[in-house]
Amino acid sequence: MTTTIRDRTDPDLGPCAQVLAQVHEHDGYPVNWPAAPDTWLTPPALLDAWVAELHGKVAGHIVLSRSGTEDAAPGLWRARTGAGQDTTAVINRLFVAPTARGHRIGAALMAHATTQARTRGLHPVLDVLASDTAAAALYERLGWQLLGTVEQQWTPTQTVAVHCYAAAP
């Protein structure tokens, strides 16, 4: 079975939102369901987005963006390396359809986004909920380095622990 990774287009937003709904139901990601999933899939600091297709259907998704105030990993990376403010790119909005797992789609999307970040001269980093042990295990299998764990206040009543990772130098 061949997986194809390609640029995400506007017509992909509907199928991506459908897959995201399946992931949310199966895994609870994202924790807080967005009011407008297509907008959530397109963060303001977006650099690029890709989809993975399996058998010609959208089976996975990933985004590369500039860091925002909600991203902890870029600050930890800068503190560790002394790198400048604009030296990182954040990998986010990664998900794979529950029915498409086991085909290394997540790893392929991560490799693609990492390569694209490096092509832009940026170091890829990411944040993941500490409770998302499957995602953290994937990043560690791929050689990503845990920078630290921080607590973030997502809403006035919701504080979460977030692991921050960076791709190996």
d(CA 51, CA 56): 11
Give the C-alpha distances (Å, rounded to integers) separating 127 from 52, 62, 92, 149, 150.
21, 13, 8, 9, 10
Contacts of 31 (CB under 8 A, 6+ apart): 129, 154, 160
CA separation (Å) from 151 to 55, 119, 128, 131?
A: 40, 31, 11, 12
Taking only the tens place, the pLDDT of each residue in 21-70 is: 999 999 999 999 999 999 999 999 999 999 999 999 999 999 999 988 78
pLDDT band at 109 (very low <50, low <70, confident <90, very high): very high
Structure token pair of residue 122: 């940026």
> ∠ CA(10), CA(62), CA(6), 5° rounding?
60
- Are 61 and 100 a contacting pair, CB within 8 Å? no
pLDDT value of position 1: 61
CB atoms within 10 A of CB 59: 24
| pLDDT tens digit sequence for 111-150 | 999 999 999 999 999 999 999 999 999 999 999 999 999 9
pLDDT of residue 154: 86
